[in-house]
Amino acid sequence: MKTRKLKFLIPVMAIGLAITASAFTSMEKSHVGESNLIVGYVYDSPANPCDQKLVDCNETGENLCYSEGQPVFKMEGTSCITQLRRD
């Protein structure tokens, strides 16, 4: 009888502990600042088509991202095709 109760209570306590722990954790909110700069790539020349730039862009914003009037791209493999976006 004790073993049966113990086998039932251990998973219940583990689930209760997991729910309690998740209630007291919080996700970090992103703040706009220098720490959010990501590496983007701009077209420089045929010899160096993907030149690195630190930009405040992401992949899911509403507007296209530009740096000094040039569109900013994400590096995929060895080419920069996907244009980054900005909120």
In a domain, 2, yes or no: no
Confirm whether pTM is higher than 0.75: no
Please tell me the distance from the alpha carbon of residue 29 to that of residue 27, in angstroms, as a whole number.
6
Look at residue 32 in the predicted model and tell me its pLDDT: 46
In a domain, 11, yes or no: no
Q: What is the pLDDT of residues 41-77, one digit of tens each?
A: 898 777 778 888 888 888 888 899 998 898 999 888 8
Q: Residue 33 — pLDDT band, cuts 50, 70, 90?
A: very low
Counted domains in the chain: 1
In a domain, 55, yes or no: yes
In a domain, 58, yes or no: yes
> By residue range, what is the domain housing residue 56?
34-86
In a domain, 42, yes or no: yes
